[in-house]
With several copies, the nearest count.
Chain A
Amino acid sequence: MSQVKIALFVNGKAQQVPKDALIVELLEELKLSPKMILVEHNNRALLRSEWDGIKLEHGDRLELIRVVAGG
């Protein structure tokens, strides 16, 4: 039987994930190493400790951010 999908906006782009997916699963899907990614969920910056408490829902807006070189 087919699994239900929901649509998120990740860094401004639409992205399909399974319902109730976790942030780590999303990052896996996107081949992003969790320990290097900062996550903002619906405009709220998340501590890593908060990640697993969050079930992604249809329409959620996420920003996946990295620390890079800068002046």
Chain B
Amino acid sequence: MMSLHTQPWSIAGKTFQSRLFVGTGKFASPELMKSTLACCGTELVTVALRRADLSGLDDPSADILNFIDPQVFQIIPNTSGAMNAEEAVRLARLGVAAGLPKWVKLEIHPDPRYLLPDPIETLKATEMLVKEGFIVLPYMNADPVLAKRLEEAGAATVMPLAAPIGSNRGLETRGQLEIIIEQSKIPVIIDAGLGAPSHAAAAMEMGADAVLINTAIAIASDPRRMARAFAVAVEAGRAAYELGLPQIRRQASATSPLTGFLAD
């Protein structure tokens, strides 16, 4: 089938064709993660940073970076695990020390139950990291005013949530997301909670610039096929947005001539 030729887009001046971010967590193996990234056309991939295991049990072969070609993918370290702005900044700096690009998916969510982001610490960390020259992609709740403040603070994108991470609940925050998209001057990437291709398509139809999927792909019975399913759903939703969706009508509108067969 021909491609849908959706518009390219960019973050901080770097242009991308794919509108699907893929998180690397929860895959059964790094090899499976690698082949999944390869077959869905994604160009944006997130990784995390964690304390090394000092018990000597760390598998030396398991360096995730060995499985992600930086020439092909924009690798974006996240700051999950950070409890506040200061820790998030320290993690971001370590990413750079690791030779990773100076991009960071800012995540500050102290509560382990819903993993919801802290708006105050997130804005504070964004200001600090922007000052240090980072390209900052903050994970945030669906709060339109916070989105504007992050934009003013120099965030490269906003990444509002659709529902709690890994919940697969879909666009629970739709009403506020629509306002964020309407008002934002920077790309809006819907992150967290999208559990089905239809959720991703719906997010794109709303006008989101991209979506990030991790759990729904990584834990699928066949992550490669599920990743492709999400990838084409994202393209479909984006194409529909670019073309403009038909108006929703209360009444019916005939698709066959309405003159009767016998009676006219």
Contact = CB atoms under 8 A, between A and B. Distances in A.
Interface of A: 10-13, 15, 30-33, 35-40, 43, 45-48, 63-71
A65 B54 contact: no
Give the interface centre of A30, A37, A40, A67 by most chain B CB atoms within 10 Å.
Answer: A67
Contacts of B30: 69
Contacts of B24: 69-71
Interface string B246-262: 00000000111100011
Contact of A64 (B54, B80, B212, B262): B54
Contacts of B117: none
B46 interface: yes
B112 to A, nearest CB: 15
A15 B262 CA distance: 16
A70 B256 contact: yes
Interface of B: 23-27, 30, 33, 46-52, 54, 56, 58, 60, 63-65, 77-78, 80, 90-91, 93-100, 165, 212, 214-215, 254-257, 261-262, 264
B15 to A, nearest CB: 24
Contacts of A67: 47-49, 63-65, 77, 95, 98, 100
Given A30-B52, A67-B77, 14 more contacts: A11-B54, A12-B262, A32-B52, A33-B60, A45-B93, A63-B51, A65-B51, A65-B98, A65-B261, A70-B80, A71-B26, A71-B214, A71-B215, A71-B256
